[in-house]
Amino acid sequence: MPAQTILPRWRGFNLLDFFTTKSSGDISEDDFRWISDWGFDFVRLPMCYTLWIEEDDAYRPFEPMLERIDRAVQLGDRYGIHVSLNFHRAPGYSVNREREEPFNLWKDQEALDAFIFHWQLFAKRYRGIPSAKLSFDLVNEPASPSPQAMTREDHERVVRATVAAIREVDPERLVIADGLSWGNDPSPELSDLGIGQSCRAYAPMIVSHYKASWVNGEGWPMPTWPGPDVSGEHWDRTRLEQHYQRWLDLARMGVGVHCGEGGAFCHTPHDVVLRWFRDVLEILTPEGIGYSLWNFRGTFGIVDSNRQDVGYEDWHGHKLDRQFLELLRQF
């Protein structure tokens, strides 16, 4: 029996139309159509909260951008795709370094109040849409716990307070919490809360983030699979199984688990990506754990990924990585 039986085994992609402070929110219906036509059923929208506020005032919603998020939710419904809204930048926290937040989500009540305000805003806006179609993924990739920035107790307090606030408005809404340590570590202390948790498929980092400047990967040696990580530790299928064991243990506690992000930057050799990601999928799939590739269009994706070692197929004026697509469709 699969370890994970609570959530559907969603399969899909992250769409980045609301990803940064400069994103347009111009969601593409083609993306939803193609994702659905190819047999997938899940889209995660990593979003930046500053897009839907005015004059950097966390309590002044900007309706035109909220209407663009509405459109994404509507497109999901139209094409039979579950939409998961995620705060990639929340009031007081983001892994993206493009902006310095004025407060700390994990330490400051002011930040938590703003965080709750926004999630209740969405809870009111989408009340009545069933959780089979829409979920709330609270905040992208909380960092590794530390006394200075965020302890496990801080994280638990923020999650519990926010879930309670969402349920005040919409008791049935499905809520998901990303794993700690940037999505790698589960939170069994939240197992009683009735929420899902989201892991990642980025290990080992030398495969997923080779030459990625935001993790200082430019000087890393060319990755192989199996092969050493940056630290010199050998990674193979067995080591991957060990990596995911904690998530399987969490799932067997009755917690829904989904892999909300995974994939490899365009500089990793294509044959390495395919062999590695097949191993990831062969581990997660029998355990009932679905996945959401980072991303759909772009340097980790299957469309317009800018890989230099791929024979792309022309797809309505875009470059389609057919090999990667067909690998994903097998799972």
Q: What is the pLDDT of residue 116?
A: 98
Q: Radius of gyration of the chain from Cα atoms?
A: 19
Q: What is the pLDDT of residue 60?
A: 98
Q: What is the pLDDT of residue 228?
A: 97
Could you read off the pLDDT of 39-86 as tens digits, one per residue?
A: 999 999 999 999 999 999 999 999 999 999 999 999 999 999 999 999
In whole angstroms, give the CA distance from residue 257 to residue 95.
Answer: 22
Cis peptide before 204 (omega within 30 of 0): yes
Could you read off the pLDDT of 232-285 as tens digits, one per residue?
A: 999 999 999 999 999 999 999 999 999 999 999 999 999 999 999 999 999 999
In whole angstroms, give the CA distance from residue 9 to residue 307.
Answer: 29
CB-CB contact of 309 with 270 (8 Å): yes
Q: What is the pLDDT of residue 93?
A: 98
Instruction: Specify the pTM.
Output: 0.97
Q: Provide the pLDDT confidence category of residue 213 given band limits of 50, 70 and 90.
A: very high
B/e letters for 8-38, b = 16+ CB within 10 Å, e = fewer, are ebbbbbbbbbbbbeebebebeeebbebbbee
- What average pLDDT is seen over the chain? 98
